[in-house]
């Protein structure tokens, strides 16, 4: 009998987790299916693979990356640590709790470089369209080899969608914006604070991107940062130079008028207004339709598409947990594909989904959100052999992190946490975050050693 075939769309942290899960089974001597991963970029890492480009890439595909220069982890690394590949194993020494992007990118790659995972990935390949044949229960996938400009088709028994959901901007309209003389862009196209030095910057939104881009621009020398919220302000203790105001109503030239009757002149506008879950390669009946939330409807165990469970979505939730959640999902997905984890009938799956949706509706505070996603992780961990980790302790760290941010948004990244995987306490970074303008891996990992060498010489 020929081997079952599994197609994975995307080689970001979620797709790589799926590949790693199969590798782990193979190492145990199990007979794994044939796995192929399609990645439209030329390298792996998804969001963590920084792109200086905006708009379209060298082959004319929409740019996936939304990350920017000077991006430091926005949560403690101890909350996302792989439980089968620790930070200690990778870096061979304790590091701080909030590393910059290149350091986390290095960590993600360390685990997969140990295996031959790269051989399973077809880079520069976009998944253009998917057809599902109900009779044969096979997915027919139309692929574009971007380098060769060749279109071809392949068939799979299972399809894992790991294409991310922080890439297609949600871009609202505000009256008068068409006449605004300065730059207007979405966070997706923001590539770093440098252009906004000495500028008055308006940011729309009150979630992670608004907070992080606002604080980064403040740190790197913006004259003023004004954050405009629709529902709730971020409400932390803002330093002088950052203010929060209610929603923008309209522009008059370069002057923005807000709902509370106040107004101010701006040089540039960054829309930190979130992203759309967008799957242009999936037909209507297979497409996940959801907003950014902690439990998207139609996904059993947060991953199996209820109408066709051989279609598996990874990482589609709003995220407190990231890398370790993708892992926990990928291990369950693998066991389903390999037949060692059975799912119940559709109606029973619907009841389970409803149970989570009802709980999700009841959540009020950020602490509730953390507890909810922690419960979800525990549920996943109970279903596979992904190495257990102390989820309650991680939930506590998330709550500490939320409190730290409330207290001082400029210094929370100087705090340290203890790993639940190794017990190692993080080191303080050699430079306080507000004074550290260089986010390179070399400076982060070796600057201190270098200074010592220079002093000794
Ligand atoms: P992605 O990383 O988005 O990867 C999806 C992959 O799919 C990409 O490589 C893409 O090219 C590929 N793809 C998409 N469509 C196709 C197609 N049709 N064909 C082939 N390939 C395709 N998380 C944290 O834990 N800490 C942080 O500090 C943090 N900061 C963030 C900052 C920003 C600005 C953003 C946008 C996100 C941040 N995140 C952070 C969350 C981040 O999204 C996750 O850490 C992680 O990257 C999600 O992994 P993923 O594999 O699900 O998706
Ligand atoms: P989020 O977390 O989805 O937040 C989107 C924000 O945009 C949120 O504050 C919304 O306000 C706001 N929004 C959405 N539409 C509008 C309109 N029309 N007008 C004003 N404000 C609006 O996205 P982020 O980009 O912050 O974070 C996504 C990921 O990127 C995250 O994982 C980070 O790690 C980085 P609301 O509260 O709904 O009123």
What would the two tokens of residue 147 be? 């380098």
* 202 CB near ligand 1 (under 6 Å): no
- The phi and psi torsions of 202 (rounded to 5 degrees) equal -105, 130
Q: What is the DSSP letter of 276?
A: E
Whether 246 contacts 229, CB under 8 Å: yes
pLDDT of residue 454: 46
Per-residue model confidence (pLDDT) at position 457 = 38
Pairing of strands 311-313, 255-258: unpaired
Candidate of 209, 216, 256 to mutate for ligand 2, largest count of ligand atoms within 8 Å of Cβ: 209
Helix (H, G, I), strand (E, B) or coil at 225: strand
Predicted pLDDT of residue 352: 98
pLDDT at site 400:
98
pLDDT for the residue numbered 222? 98
At 456 the pLDDT is: 43
CB 324 within 8 A of CB 80: yes
CB distance 322 to ligand 1 below 6 Å: yes
The verdict on the CB of residue 206 being under 6 Å from ligand 2 is yes
Here the contacts of 338-346 (C-beta below 8 Å, separation 24 or greater) are 338/25, 338/30, 338/32, 338/33, 341/383, 341/384, 343/300, 343/301, 343/304, 343/309, 346/306, 346/307
Q: Is the CB of 319 under 6 A from ligand 2?
A: yes
Residue 402 alpha carbon to ligand 2 centre in Å:
17
Q: Is 99 in the pocket of ligand 1 (CB under 6 A)?
A: no
Q: How many angstroms separate the alpha carbon of residue 272 from the centre of ligand 2?
A: 6
Q: What distance in Å separates the CA atoms of residue 152 and residue 130, rounded to the nearest whole number?
A: 12
- pLDDT on residue 451: 53
Residue listed under structure tokens 């999700």: 360
- Residues 418-440 have pLDDT tens digits of 999 999 999 999 999 999 999 99
pLDDT value, residue 258: 98
249 lines ligand 2 (CB under 6 A): no
Residue 202 Cα to ligand 2 midpoint, Å, equals 15
Per-residue tokens: 325: 């959640």
Distance of CA 122 to the CA centre of its chain: 22
- For residue 210, the ligand 2 atom closest to its alpha carbon is 26
Hey, what are 152's tokens?
A: 């071809």
Global ipTM: 0.99
pTM score, whole prediction: 0.97
- Say if ligand 2 is within 6 A of residue 273 CB: yes
Q: Are strands 275-276 and 268-271 parallel, antiparallel or unpaired?
A: unpaired
According to DSSP, the β-strands at 255-258 and 248-252 are: antiparallel
Q: Does the CB atom of residue 76 touch ligand 2 within 6 A?
A: no
pLDDT along the chain (457 residues), means of 10: 93 98 96 98 98 97 98 98 98 98 98 90 98 95 98 98 98 98 98 98 98 98 98 96 98 98 98 98 97 97 98 98 98 98 98 98 98 98 97 98 97 98 97 97 83 45
What φ, ψ does residue 163 adopt, rounded to 5°?
A: -95, 5
The kind and range of the H/E element at 409 are: none
Q: Would you say 44 and 105 are in contact if contact means Cβ atoms under 8 Å apart?
A: no
CB distance 121 to 37 below 8 Å:
yes
Contact 421, 393 (CB under 8 A): no
């Amino acid at each position: 009998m020929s081997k079952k075939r599994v197609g994975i769309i995307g080689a970001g942290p979620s797709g790589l987790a799926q590949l790693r899960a199969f590798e782990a089974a193979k190492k145990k001597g199990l007979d794994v299916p044939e796995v192929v991963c399609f990645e439209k970029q030329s390298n792996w890492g998804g969001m963590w693979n920084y792109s200086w480009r905006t708009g379209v890439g060298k082959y004319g595909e929409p740019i996936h990356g939304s990350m920017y220069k000077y991006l430091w982890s926005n949560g403690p690394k101890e909350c996302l640590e792989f439980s089968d590949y620790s930070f200690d194993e990778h870096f061979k020494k304790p590091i701080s709790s909030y590393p910059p992007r290149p350091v986390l990118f290095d960590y993600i790659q360390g685990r997969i470089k140990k295996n031959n995972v790269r051989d399973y990935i077809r880079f520069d390949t976009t998944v253009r369209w998917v057809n599902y044949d109900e009779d044969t229960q096979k997915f027919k996938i139309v692929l574009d080899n971007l380098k060769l400009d060749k279109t071809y088709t392949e068939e799979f028994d299972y399809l894992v969608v790991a294409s991310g959901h922080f890439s297609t901007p949600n871009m609202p309209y505000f009256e008068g914006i068409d006449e605004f003389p300065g730059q207007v862009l979405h966070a997706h196209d923001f590539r770093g604070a440098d252009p906004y030095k000495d500028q008055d910057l308006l940011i729309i939104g009150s979630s992670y991107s608004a907070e992080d881009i606002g604080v980064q621009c403040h740190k790197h020398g913006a004259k003023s940062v004004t954050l405009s919220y629709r529902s709730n302000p971020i409400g932390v203790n803002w330093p002088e130079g950052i203010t929060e105001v209610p929603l923008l109503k309209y522009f008059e030239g370069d002057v923005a008028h807000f709902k509370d009757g106040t107004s101010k002149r701006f040089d540039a506008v960054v829309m930190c207004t979130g992203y759309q879950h967008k799957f242009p390669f999936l037909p209507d009946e297979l497409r996940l339709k959801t907003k950014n939330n902690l439990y998207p409807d139609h996904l059993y165990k947060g991953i199996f598409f209820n109408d066709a469970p051989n279609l598996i979505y990874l990482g589609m939730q709003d995220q407190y947990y990231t890398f370790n959640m993708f892992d926990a999902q990928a291990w369950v997905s693998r066991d389903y594909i390999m037949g060692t984890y059975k799912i119940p009938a559709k109606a029973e799956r619907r009841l389970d989904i409803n149970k989570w949706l009802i709980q999700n509706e009841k959540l009020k505070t950020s602490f509730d959100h953390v507890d909810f996603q922690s419960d979800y992780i525990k549920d996943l961990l109970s279903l596979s052999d992904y190495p257990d980790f102390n989820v309650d302790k991680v939930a506590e760290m998330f709550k500490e992190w939320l409190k730290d941010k409330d207290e001082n948004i400029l210094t929370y990244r100087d705090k340290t946490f203890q790993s639940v995987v190794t017990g190692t306490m993080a080191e303080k970074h050699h430079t306080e975050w507000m004074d550290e303008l260089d986010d390179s891996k070399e400076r982060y990992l070796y600057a201190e050693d270098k200074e010592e060498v220079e002093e000794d010489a």
